[in-house]
C-alpha cells in the first residue's frame, strides 16, 4: 500500500478509498468514494495533496462535474481541509457537514488559528484551506438522510471528539463512516488508538458515541485513520477501555508531576507508535492527544 493508492472496500458495493498521504505518512489518512447514482466523497483530507483525491475519482470513473456530494465528517482540517479545493474542482457538488461546522468552512480563519495551536509544528504539512462558498454548503443534524440514489446515508451526531462531528451510515453496504468517533485504527499493527485532541475532547460524550456505534451495529467500520475493517464488538470494548485508562493515566500523572509540560513529555517518551508512523509523527500525535485530555480535565 502506498500514498495515492485506491482500493475497494471488501464486501461493499461501489465503495472505494484512497490513501491521501496525510503528514507524509502512509496509512494515516483515508478518503472514501461512494460511486453511486449521486456520487459522494466522505472526508477530504488535509488539503495538501488533494490532487490524490481527484486522481482517485478519475481512477474510479467519476467525472468531476458528476460528483454530487462532499461530506466532511467534521470540521477538523485533517478531515475537512481539502473541502474548498475539491468544491472548486467539482463544480456541481454540494458540501454537507454538521451545522456547527458550516461557518468554519465558509470562513476558516478561526479554524486555522485553532488548528495551528493544536498541531504545533505539524502545521507545515497543511495547506491553507480555501473557503467554501455559502451557496455550496448546507448543514446537517442528527437523523438527516442523504440521498445518493441507490444508497442512502443516515446521519448520526457524534460530538465526543468534536461538537461538529457526524457519522454516516451507508445502509446498503451496512458500512459506517466513523470520522474519529471510533478512534484510530492502525492496520499495519492491528491496533486501535485514542484520539483526544484539544479543544473539544469530551470523555463522556466519546463513550456515548461508542454506544451509538453499538446501536447501529454495522458490518463494516470505515475509519478516517485508517481504512475499513470488519465491525467487531470487542474492538469497541477495547476502545472504550483505552479511552478510560488514557484519561485516568494522564490525570494521575498530572497529580504526581504537577506540571503539564512534564506530563506531556512523559507520554511522548513512552510512545510506541514510531513503528507504525515516523518518530516525529508519533511524538506529535502523543503531544496533541495528551494536551486534549489536560484541557478536558481543566473543565471537570
Percent residues over pLDDT 70 in the chain: 100
- Can you give the pLDDT at residue 278? 87
Residues of the chain with pLDDT under 50: none
User: Which cell numbers in the block locate residue 141?
Assistant: 443534524
**Which of 286, 290, 276, 283 has the alpha carbon at shortest distance from 25?**
276
- Can you give the pLDDT at residue 113? 95
Percent residues over pLDDT 90 in the chain: 95
127 secondary structure, DSSP code: P
Phi and psi for 70 in degrees, rounded to 5? -120, 120
pLDDT digits (tens, 9 = 90+) for 131-157: 999 999 999 999 999 999 999 999 999
Give residue for cell 458515541: 209
The whole-angstrom separation of Cα 297 and Cα 199 is 11
- Can you give the pLDDT at residue 194? 96
In sequence order, the β-bridge partners of residue 33 are 16, 41
**Are residues 220 and 176 in contact, defined by beta-carbon separation less than 8 angstroms?**
yes
The whole-angstrom separation of Cα 222 and Cα 79 is 13
26: Cβ contacts below 8 Å, ≥ 6 apart: 1, 2, 3, 19
The whole-angstrom separation of Cα 9 and Cα 155 is 20
pLDDT digits (tens, 9 = 90+) for 170-207: 999 999 999 999 999 999 999 999 999 998 999 999 99
Amino acid at each position: 500500500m502506498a500514498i495515492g493508492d485506491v482500493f475497494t472496500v471488501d464486501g461493499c458495493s461501489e465503495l472505494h478509498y484512497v490513501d491521501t498521504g496525510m503528514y507524509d505518512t502512509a496509512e494515516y489518512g483515508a478518503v472514501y468514494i461512494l460511486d453511486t447514482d449521486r456520487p459522494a466523497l466522505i472526508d477530504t483530507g488535509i488539503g495538501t495533496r488533494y490532487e490524490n483525491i481527484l486522481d482517485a475519482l478519475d481512477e474510479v470513473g467519476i467525472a468531476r462535474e458528476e460528483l454530487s456530494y462532499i461530506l466532511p465528517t467534521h470540521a477538523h482540517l485533517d478531515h475537512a481541509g481539502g473541502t474548498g479545493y475539491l468544491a472548486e474542482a467539482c463544480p456541481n457538488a454540494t458540501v454537507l457537514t454538521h451545522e456547527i461546522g458550516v461557518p468554519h468552512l465558509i470562513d476558516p480563519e478561526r479554524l486555522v488559528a485553532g488548528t495551528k495551536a493544536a498541531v504545533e509544528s505539524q502545521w507545515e504539512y497543511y495547506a491553507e484551506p480555501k473557503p467554501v462558498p455559502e451557496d455550496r454548503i448546507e448543514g446537517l443534524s442528527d437523523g438527516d438522510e442523504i440521498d445518493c440514489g441507490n444508497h442512502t446515508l443516515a446521519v448520526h451526531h457524534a460530538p465526543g471528539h468534536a461538537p461538529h462531528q457526524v457519522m454516516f451510515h451507508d445502509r446498503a453496504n451496512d458500512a459506517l463512516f466513523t470520522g474519529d468517533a471510533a478512534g484510530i485504527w492502525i492496520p499495519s499493527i492491528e491496533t486501535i488508538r485514542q484520539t483526544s485532541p484539544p479543544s473539544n475532547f469530551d470523555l463522556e460524550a466519546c463513550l456515548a458515541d461508542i454506544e451509538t456505534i453499538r446501536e447501529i451495529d454495522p458490518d463494516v467500520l470505515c475509519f478516517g485513520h485508517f481504512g475499513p475493517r470488519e465491525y467487531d464488538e470487542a474492538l469497541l470494548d477495547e476502545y472504550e477501555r483505552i479511552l478510560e485508562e488514557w484519561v485516568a493515566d494522564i490525570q494521575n500523572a498530572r497529580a504526581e508531576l504537577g506540571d503539564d509540560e512534564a506530563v506531556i513529555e512523559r507520554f511522548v517518551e513512552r510512545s510506541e507508535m514510531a513503528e507504525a508512523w515516523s518518530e516525529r509523527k508519533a511524538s506529535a500525535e502523543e503531544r496533541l492527544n495528551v494536551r486534549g485530555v489536560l484541557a478536558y480535565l481543566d473543565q471537570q
